[in-house]
Amino acid sequence: MTDSPECTDCPLDGDRRHFLRTLGVALASLGSLGLVARDADGATIRAMTALLAAPDDRRDEKRYPIPDVDGVSIDRDNGVIIARTAGRVFAFSLACPHQNTALRWNESDRQFQCPKHKSRYREDGAYIQGRATRSMDRLALRRDGAAIVVEIDTLFQQDDHAKEWLAAFVVV
């Protein structure tokens, strides 16, 4: 998607900030123990950090390299998941759409899973099962050369922003 409409009424902005604050405190604790590359249950995660901003990037935009192969990476600092699957790249909120728990990626079955109520989602964020009532929330993104630029405050919920949610990916 190249020109993402502004999500001026995204109801989760406040929740998302709270989620990121809470996550930051938890990560600070994990970091002090040297466990940032593992989640609370000890499962390894593929962590990533945002690239340096380009001069014209807005404060709410984060850049990431386009993944070379299919897979999932998580930027916990900004609450962003980047997933490449079947020639498409998606950016998701790390927060479960049910009650904002940080999602996990399970490489063995190639699904996202929520540790709190066990909701499961496909690589493209589509809901499979569990207590959540919608698919994972997608973030607006665009391609800029060899990078993906993600608007971390522009969140599309499948039920409230169906058209934008469906279009929120880039082809690679």
Binding site for ligand FES (CB under 6 A): 96, 98-99, 101, 114, 116-117, 119, 130-132
Residue closer to ligand FES, measured from CB, 112 or 169: 112
85 vs 99, which CB is nearer to ligand FES?
99
Q: Which of 58, 59, 158, 39 is nearest to 106 (CA)?
A: 39
Q: Are 124 and 90 in contact (CB under 8 A)?
A: yes
Count of all residues that appear for the chain in the document: 172
Minimum distance of ligand FES from residue 117's CB (angstroms): 3
- For residue 167, give the amino acid letter: A
Q: Measured from the CB atom, is 120 or 142 closer to ligand FES?
A: 120
Q: How far is the CB of 34 from ligand FES (least distance, A)?
A: 27
Nearer to ligand FES, 82 or 102 (CB): 102
Cβ 119 to ligand FES, closest distance in Å? 4
Cβ 147 to ligand FES shortest distance, Å: 30
The span from the CA of 166 to the CA of 172, in Å, is 17
Residues 6+ apart with CB under 8 A from 95: 12, 15, 16, 19, 79, 101, 102, 103, 137
Six-digit token string for 143: 């391609």
46/118 with CB nearer ligand FES: 118
First to last CA, the chain: 11
Instruction: For residue 138, list its beta bridge partners.
Output: 92, 156
Minimum CB separation from ligand FES for residue 95, in Å? 9
